Chains A and B, each alone.
Chain A
């Protein structure tokens, strides 16, 4: 793609999310979402083959439907409250429709079907932008309307997302699909605590973005999109192999790595609000996630995965220089001792 056009379109994606996050008028928020959607389509279609075109079309259709639902909720809110400012949405119908629209944008169950298919069809870098940056805008709106969200609907979607994210990822060997199901599960954790303590949603979002960024950078560095291809990194860069182990275990939520911090805080917040069964179920279902992360570490870092002898030397073009990989790895594994600092938030 022409570098000037590519820069313009990438900046427009950033501008769209910024407009969503900083506007106080519902119409501007909707315009921000549409600008974001329009500009990310050519980024998803960077390579012109039928898979990327199909993935971009699927993404466009689902997100456009979600934008339409969002507009309908905005207009119902206007009809009943007479104003356009972002406050909690007082009308229950508008609130339910808006929650469904934002769940479609995030990829929560039962609207999760597009996430694995779209992530699989696009390149690794585009998948990175899709799973991290695109989650910021809907989550910021959910944060702003969180006092008025129907608890039953949101918790149902959250728990089902954790279940689907864990269960659906079990049978996958393609790394992008694994990351997609991981994203669905993490979104479920984030929205489960939204009504109780929205700050923890933002904490979870921050840590999730760091870990997903790290994982994708590690995949891009070793140019691998399947488990088999990833299992050959021991021969090329053994250090990267170790770091894949550490980051994957952090994603699974194991102490003493940073991925444990959001899960711990969320479970603590939920039990403080006298719901015991829910966090127990969520923690148990997170084990499904941990299982397929551990399977990746088993095939990559812990064993020499069986392959034919001529595939043991991993062949690729010159080593990619990945920006900021060491700081990202450090941040996504060693942040747990900083947990007491959370008391400065609110």
Chain B
């Protein structure tokens, strides 16, 4: 099972995305976002990125999603929608689940999948040890490179986040 752990985690990832795309109330969307965040962290860690996985948990789940949860709790309605409360929501959720199950069976059964991409069965999800990353971990090198050679990226993303806050404040200010 450990060879196919990334595949299993990816399936859970997609299922949780289907869960919030079928639009229940935002508080339940936040619930499956937590699950998908944790599973995404697992996927990243299986590729050797332990630092980045920890970032997902700390910043994404522990920072952004907590703020999202608080604001949703302030704006919640009396009878929030669950997946089983509304026929439409349940129908979309089941449809998404059905499509995912069909895709998984297709990938598992056939040798090659050629829908939009070409995958060679489940093999593409298994983690190989390429042997190149000997002494250093690639991922920490990448983070270090971001702050040295990639200073422009840091400036641009920092400015985007700052302007994002300005825009949100401006839009919600109204008159």
Contact = CB atoms under 8 A, between A and B. Distances in A.
Nearest to B157: A31
A42 B174 contact: no
Given A38-B164, A48-B175, A19 B156 contact: yes
B132 to A, nearest CB: 14
A76 B117 CA distance: 8
Given A48-B174, A79-B117, A9 B167 contact: yes
A31 B160 contact: yes
The residue among B159, B166, B170 with the most chain A CB atoms within 10 A of its own CB is B170
Majority SS at the chain A contact face: helix
B135 to A, nearest CB: 24
Most buried by B among A5, A9, A42: A42
B55 to A, nearest CB: 18
A35 B171 CA distance: 16
Contacts of B174: 48
Given A5-B166, A9-B163, A76-B117, A42 B156 contact: no
A15 interface: yes
Contacts of B171: 41-42, 45
A1 B175 contact: no
B117 A35 contact: no
A174 interface: no
Interface of B is mostly: helix
Given A76-B117, A93-B116, A5 B159 contact: no
Contact of A35 (B152, B163, B175): B163
A39 interface: yes
A42 B167 contact: yes
A54 interface: no
A235 interface: no
Contact of A28 (B116, B156, B159, B164): B156
A8 interface: yes
A27 B159 CA distance: 16
Contacts of A41: 167, 171
Contacts of B156: 19, 28, 31-32, 35
B153 interface: yes
Contact of A15 (B117, B152, B159, B166): B159
Interface residues of B, number: 16
Contacts of A27: 153
Contacts of B117: 76, 79, 93
A186 B152 CA distance: 35
A9 B153 contact: no
A286 B108 CA distance: 53
B170 A1 contact: yes
Interface string B134-175: 000000000000000000110011011001101100110011
Contacts of B175: 48
Given A28-B153, A31-B157, A9 B170 contact: yes
Contacts of B153: 27-28, 31
A32 B167 CA distance: 16
B166 A8 contact: yes
A34 B160 contact: yes
Given A12-B159, A38-B160, A76-B117, 16 more contacts: A1-B170, A5-B166, A5-B170, A12-B163, A28-B152, A28-B156, A31-B156, A35-B160, A38-B167, A39-B163, A41-B167, A42-B170, A42-B171, A48-B175, A79-B117, A93-B116
Interface of B: 116-117, 152-153, 156-157, 159-160, 163-164, 166-167, 170-171, 174-175
30 contacts: A5-B166, A8-B166, A9-B166, A9-B167, A9-B170, A12-B159, A15-B159, A19-B156, A28-B152, A28-B153, A28-B156, A31-B153, A31-B157, A32-B156, A35-B159, A35-B160, A35-B163, A38-B160, A38-B163, A38-B167, A39-B163, A39-B167, A41-B171, A42-B167, A42-B170, A42-B171, A45-B171, A48-B174, A76-B116, A76-B117
